[in-house]
Amino acid sequence: MRFRLTPRDVTFFDLLATSAGHLVTGADQLAQLIGAPPAERPPYAEQLKQSEHDADDSTHAIMRRLNQTFVTPFDRDDIYNLASALDDCMDSMEAAGDLIVLYRVHELPEGVTEQVSTLQRAAELTAAAMPKLQDMNEELTEYWIEVNRLENEADRIYRELLALLFQSPRYQESPAAVIEMFKLKGIIDVLEQAADSFEKVANFVETIVLKES
């Protein structure tokens, strides 16, 4: 790491860690939501919405600190991009949970559980990675490699789900079945966006580490 002559505001590392911690909570709440009977899902959706609000507050705290700080631990644009990408992860997970409840989906394909499992793992890895930014820990390389692998896995699950929706007679047998198919497609699309957002976070971390090394 480069030797620095100017002091750095290390508060950003705590703020980023707090922001990433909300992702673990949100991913777990989403997993509970999809595992619950349809009638029991609304309370989980409300919890997820509250976690999204908490994540928004963390993002705003980072932005306020960014505007008030002259010397930042690393490039301020990188901090902004990283904070925004973390927020995007939570937004997509909350949106998925909200759609499941609003659409009154009764049965979710098994692949949706697999999608959410990859998000849970990505959230755990992301939360563990944020504190390591302070020292640019070598383990960060393992972090972004694993998150990229998870995103590839999420892509595979997503393609298999699309094939199921468009090829299964179950979703073609009536106009109501076709509507159900498009509801499910909307949900799996948003879950795929969440996986993409986690990969963006990992990519920003990689960029920061390469710049600072």
- Sign for the CA dihedral angle at 86, 54, 74, 134 comes to negative
Helix (H) or strand (E) holding 81: helix 76-102
Instruction: Identify the pLDDT of residue 135.
Output: 82
**Is there a domain that residue 182 lies in?**
yes
Tell me, yes or no, whether 3 lies in a domain.
no
Q: How many helices (H) and strands (E) does the chain have?
A: 6, 0
**What's the whole-number mean pLDDT along residues 171-181?**
91
104-110 mean pLDDT: 93
What one-character DSSP code corresponds to residue 105?
-
- What does 117-130 look like in DSSP terms, one character per residue? HHHHHHHHHHHHHG
Cα–Cα distance for residue pair 65/72, rounded to 1 Å: 9
CATH code of residue 120: 1.20.58.220
The Cα 41–Cα 101 span in angstroms is 7
pLDDT tens digit sequence for 135-160: 877 779 999 999 999 999 999 999 99
Burial class (CB in 10 A: 0-12, 13-18, 19+), 26: buried
Tell me, yes or no, whether 169 lies in a domain. Answer: yes
Alpha-carbon distance of 184 to 198, in angstroms, equals: 22
Q: Is residue 5 situated within a structural domain?
A: no
In-domain check, residue 117: yes
**pTM given for the model:** 0.91
User: pLDDT confidence of 11, banded at 50, 70, 90?
Assistant: confident
Domain assignment of residue 98, yes or no: yes
pLDDT of residue 2: 45
Residue 100's domain comprises 11-212
pLDDT tens per residue, range 87-97 = 999 999 999 99
The count of domains in the chain is: 1
Closest CA to 147 of 174, 127, 167, 176: 127
Give the whole-angstrom CA distance, residue 110 versus residue 125.
24
Q: Which residue do the tokens 């972090």 mark?
A: 143
Inside any domain, residue 70: yes
Quick check: is 4 in a domain?
no
pLDDT winner (highest mean) among 59-68, 128-137, 188-197 = 188-197
